[in-house]
Amino acid sequence: MPSQLFQPFDLGGLHLSNRIVIAPMCQYSAEEGSATDWHLIHLGNLSLSGAGLLIIEATAVEPEGRISPDDLGLWSDANEAALARVLEGIRRHSEMPIGIQLGHAGRKASVHSPWTGGGQRPLEDRGWQTLAPSALPMQAKDRPPLPLDAAGLKRIREAFVATARRAVRLGLQAIELHCAHGYLLHQFLSPLANQRDDAYGGSLENRMRFPLEVFDAVREAVPAAIPVGVRVSGTDWVEGGWDIAQTVAFSEALKARGVSFIHVSSGGVSAAQTIALSPGYQVPLARAVKTATGVPTIAVGLITDYEHAEAVVAGGDADMVALARGILYDPRWPWHAAAHLGASVKAPKQYLRSQPSRFRTLFES
């Protein structure tokens, strides 16, 4: 039986050659939000991997929405021009579809990069005042964020739209809104971070309101042929927090609004989370969303074995499998998976002679 992982898939008007997605991965290597040579090297390398879709890292819609001062952004003409240069270089040598994840870090903004220790930056050291649904810091030692008022909500909603329009101008082929990992839109969803007493807090309907408003605004601003999806945290892994039942309800509301796909991760909103890590530990969350909604679903999280990835798709747990750190460790993972599963992948002509003799049909002609 042919490998299901390597069967084509259509996300609305976007055709994918296989079910392997390269997940967004923060690089902390931008300059005032603008992409650098590192992004050309990093994304260019991944664009030669044979995956079906490459999603650019979480990209801030305004300066205050960056996780760190070194995060990628797309709020200015300078940001747009820098990313255009990167994309031009990649497209010269790769036909892989490229999407982008748009986000706002909310109370998790203004931090050091991971390799310099993480943690919130002082205001005098390239830090800034963070924003959130409520004045609840991520860590007790952090500065409390400022609760967003009506004007702030409007500004951020419009920033998502403006950034999405820049993505369209750049020719990016899919947009993913970041509603996961404890960042701003997830903060509105989770009762652990959202303790508002207005129309944006309290009940599930109210907590979903702002993320749904952002989705509606972006979907309306983007041409119908471009898929707009959402990344969600299926659970906070904390008692009394966001959970899979609420995720399904949110996914159903997104389906009614025309969401193109749902990318299911978990956690990130609370330091009290307790996660039992194991291969595919988030796959049951993706399956729950797919079963309840029928929306194209991406599973992610410690899926590194070829047979495991195949089983996720073939068994109906998800329509696609996303790789993150695993593909950084092995940038030719799709090649090796195809060789193992008896499938084929696209490869650049400069690499065609690398095909091992025992895998003579590995590269598509």
Under the banding of pLDDT at 50, 70 and 90, the label for residue 12 is confident
Of 204, 232, 212, 215, residue with least CA distance to 290: 232
Active site residue 183: yes
Residue among 332, 327, 358 nearest 347 (CA): 332
Can you tell me the mean pLDDT for 6-33?
Answer: 97
Instruction: Collect all residues with Cβ–Cβ distance below 8 Å to 346 and sequence separation of at least 6.
Output: 17, 50, 95, 96, 363, 364
CA distances from 121 to 68, 70, 136, 295 (A): 9, 12, 17, 39
Q: Counting beta carbons within 10 angstroms of the beta carbon of residue 271, is it exposed (0 to 12), middle (13 to 18) or buried (19 or more)? A: exposed
- Burial of 260 by CB count in 10 Å (0-12 exposed, 13-18 middle, 19+ buried)? buried
Note whether 324 and 25 are within 8 A (CB): yes
State the pLDDT at residue 365: 66
Could you say which DSSP state residue 16 is in?
E
What's the one-letter identity of residue 301?
A: G
- The pLDDT of residue 1 is 86
In 3D, which of 345, 342, 349, 340 has the Cα closest to residue 363?
345
Whole-angstrom distance, CA of residue 107 vs CA of residue 35: 24
Could you tell me the CA-to-CA distances from 204 to 58, 248, 350 in Å, in that order? Answer: 26, 12, 53
At 239 the pLDDT is 96
Strand-pair category, 297-300 with 146-147? unpaired
> Distance between CA atoms of 67 and 139, rounded to whole angstroms?
15
Domains of the chain and CATH, by start: 9-359 (3.20.20.70)
Give the tens place of pLDDT for each residue, 88-98: 999 999 999 99
Catalytic residue among 183, 200, 329, 351: 183
Q: Which residues contact 196 (CB under 8 A, 6 or more apart)?
A: 133, 134, 147, 202, 206
**Tens of pLDDT along 264-281?**
999 999 999 999 999 999
Residue range 163-189: average pLDDT?
Answer: 98
Look at 365 and 124; give whichever has higher pLDDT: 124
Given a cut of 70, whether residue 361 has pLDDT beyond it is yes
Question: pLDDT tens for residues 289-309?
Answer: 999 999 999 999 999 999 999
The Cα 150–Cα 120 span in angstroms is 26
- Residues 208-264 have pLDDT tens digits of 999 999 999 999 999 999 999 999 999 999 999 999 999 999 999 999 999 999 999
Specify the residue for token string 């899919």: 174
Kindly report each contact of residues 248-253 with a partner whose C-beta sits within 8 Å and lies 24 or more positions away, as own/partner: 248/288, 248/289, 248/292, 248/293, 249/204, 249/208, 250/179, 250/189, 250/208, 250/211, 251/289, 251/292, 251/293, 251/295, 252/292, 252/293, 253/208, 253/212
What token pair was written down for 14? 């976007």
Among 352, 359, 339, CA closest to 6: 339
Check residue 359 and report its DSSP letter: G
Q: What is the pTM of this model?
A: 0.97
pLDDT in tens, 56-93: 999 999 999 999 999 999 999 999 999 999 999 999 99
